[in-house]
């Protein structure tokens, strides 16, 4: 599952880089990507993407189950095509992108269980809830990049305050749905304790963003929130693994 899914994700990333090379050229954080600079040719990139996608799908079909392979394929389509179109036209592109980003944990769940149930749904919602503050933080401190590329992210469309409100709302959703894994019997109390601590820590730092601030302060806050989001998802995943091992 890990090998097959990794190859499918690699294919999606390459195709995304191909479709976004015009946008990437205008953004400081992406202008040095291989397809923008020409280090890798378009033909070779697309060939490699096709090989990765095909091989990954075949591995998932042969060694997991059709439902797992189908969901991975849906994630590819959602990321490359649906998100690829939406992010250029709608402020809701980030939400749409979070759908494909939430697929991999569910693919792993399906590979192990062979079924879609409440556990799979909770994993999906948790990952969507985590991604939104993560990406909104990036959009805040990189908003000049997105403005240059004419990408309608929330900080540009609705302002910084609206973005901060959305960040807090999604952090709260992350805390509640993470706790639901224990409430519905999918994880134990060790996991619950860790998830509440890290979620509360993330929320506390999120609330610091409501102090009066200038642009530079907001950017520092957003960068810190981005960094904390990485720590949160790492500890959250580790808590599931440790809790499962103990029980």
Confidence of residue 97 (pLDDT cuts 50, 70, 90): very high
Tokens 């693919």 belong to residue = 107
pLDDT of residue 126: 97
185 confidence band (pLDDT: 50, 70, 90): very high
Inform me whether the pLDDT recorded for 213 exceeds 80.
no
Position 130 scores a pLDDT of 97
With a cut of 80, say whether residue 66 has pLDDT above it.
yes
Domain edges within the chain: 1-114, 117-247
Dist CA 220 CA 189 (whole Å): 34
CATH number of 1-114: 1.10.357.140
Alpha-carbon span 135 to 67, nearest angstrom? 29
Confidence of residue 28 (pLDDT cuts 50, 70, 90): confident
H helix runs in 93-213, sequence order: 93-101, 103-113, 118-141, 143-148, 154-158, 160-183, 189-207
Q: What is the pLDDT of residue 208?
A: 92
Distance, CA of 222 to CA of 227 (rounded, Å): 9
- For the chain, give the percent of residues with pLDDT over 70: 100
Q: Is the pLDDT of residue 233 over 90?
A: yes
Averaged pLDDT of the chain: 94
pLDDT average, residue stretch 19-40: 90
For the segment 43-47, the average pLDDT, to the nearest whole number, is 96
What is the rounded average pLDDT of the residues 39-59?
96
Distance, in Å, from the CA atom of 52 to the CA atom of 6, rounded to the nearest integer, reads 9
Check whether 173 has a pLDDT greater than 90. Answer: yes
**pLDDT at position 215 over 90:** no
Q: Under the phi-then-psi rule, with left for phi > 0, alpha for psi from -120 to 50, and beta for the rest, what region is 38? A: left
Structure tokens at 15: 């195709």
Output the pLDDT for position 184.
Answer: 96
Which pLDDT tens digit goes with each residue over 137-169? Answer: 999 999 998 999 899 999 999 999 999 999 999
- pTM, whole model, 2 decimals? 0.92
Q: Is 32 helix (H, G, I), strand (E, B) or coil?
A: coil
Token match 């957003």: residue?
A: 222
Q: Which residues contact 33 (CB under 8 A, 6 or more apart)?
A: 17, 21, 24
Q: Taking Cα atoms as reference points, which of 25, 153, 46 lies closest to residue 94?
A: 153
């Amino acid at each position: 599952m890990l090998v097959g899914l990794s190859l499918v994700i690699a294919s999606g990333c390459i195709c995304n880089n191909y479709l976004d090379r015009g946008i990437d050229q205008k953004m400081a954080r992406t202008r040095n990507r291989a397809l923008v600079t020409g280090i890798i040719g378009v033909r070779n990139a697309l060939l490699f993407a096709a090989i990765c996608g095909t091989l990954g799908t075949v591995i998932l079909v042969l060694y997991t189950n059709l439902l797992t392979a189908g969901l991975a394929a849906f994630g590819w389509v959602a990321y490359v095509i649906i998100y690829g179109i939406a992010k250029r036209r709608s402020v809701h592109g980030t939400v749409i992108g979070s759908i494909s980003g939430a697929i991999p944990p569910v693919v792993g769940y399906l590979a192990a269980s062979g079924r879609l149930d409440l556990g799979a749904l909770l994993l999906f919602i948790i990952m969507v809830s985590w991604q939104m503050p993560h990406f909104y933080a990036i959009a805040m401190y990189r908003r000049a990049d997105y403005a240059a590329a004419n990408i309608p992210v929330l900080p540009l469309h609705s302002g910084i305050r609206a973005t901060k409100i959305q960040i807090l709302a999604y952090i709260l959703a992350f805390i509640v749905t993470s706790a639901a894994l224990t409430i519905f019997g999918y994880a134990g109390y060790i996991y619950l304790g860790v998830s509440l601590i890290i979620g509360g820590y993330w929320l506390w730092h999120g609330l610091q963003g409501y102090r009066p601030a200038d642009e530079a302060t907001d950017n520092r806050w957003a960068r810190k929130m981005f960094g904390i989001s990485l720590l949160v998802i790492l500890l959250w995943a580790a808590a599931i693994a440790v809790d499962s091992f103990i029980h």
